[in-house]
Amino acid sequence: MPASAYINRIATAVPEHEVHQFYLRFAASMLAADRRRVFERMADLAGIESRYSCFAPALDPEGPSADLAGTFVRGAFPGTASRMGMFGAAAPVLAQKGVDALQLGDDASRITHLIVTTCTGFYAPGIDLDLMALCGLSNSIQRTMIGFMGCYAAINALKLSRHIIRSDPQARVLMVNIELCTMHLQETNELEKLLSFCLWGDGCAAALVTAEPHGILLEDFHCIVATERRHLMTWSIRDDGFEMYLSGQVPAAISEALQGSKDAILGDRPVEAIDLWAVHPGGRSVLDSVERALKLAPSALAKSREVLRRYGNMSSATFMFVMEEMLKAPSGLLGCGMAFGPGLTAETMLFQTVS
């Protein structure tokens, strides 16, 4: 039989700059007074209290620049090339912080595979090679970049990690999810776009996946793609950065997709058989739609809501922040994880806690 794969450790990291209230005020300043009141009322319902950015905010949210360095000047926000330079400078620092928090020690030299997910920036030689040098990884490590898949990329990375372990039980996979979402702030007076931006934060998660039987057993995976809903969520490269579009119809579309695929997701088990729920907190309304679709108890998504409250949506890193909480659960519990992104895609998995 093929070997089983386990998440042995997860560590998370965020930058030092807490920016949520600053960016709410900055975004509001781009709106007329009547739209500002609507924005503030809707932002208060988001379930987010703090978000973090690699870029220090300016001193005055109504001043000429959004950031202390003066890069995001009103009327002259940076282009995509400048933003990719910012990513190349800041992402390796935050990624190393996440990997260092795993406390690999001498085990770093034993890592055989490195998988990196990101959808917020690219450069080459890339962050995979930077991590190899910064974290003491072997020059012969096998590296894979999973790019531009969005919020569900972490589950795809876990799926790939499981395939690696099943084919080579001696493999030791380091998975890094690094996202700098706040770098893609857009200057706009469109209410929907400003509300969308006020979900996003920067963050990194690092995980060790091996055949050693402790932590979280990766049991099974299932993917749903609602192709007729692909227009509801997009992530596009523009001249002035990457632009996220999130339709207000996304929560209802997710609910419909989950209801139609519940048996496949849960392996024909009843919802009541699932002890733990690790749902990517793409936003409060997304979590509400999952809770309604699966008829979950209000407490079922408490860990996801807490991650959203403390960090916002950090794209592919966010799911692993929730999984870090799952590692603290008692042994022998069955869990279901899911994350959503462009496609419209729902990546799901079943897992078990193992002491």
Residues belonging to the active site: 151
Angle 210-164-205 from CA coordinates, rounded to 5°? 60
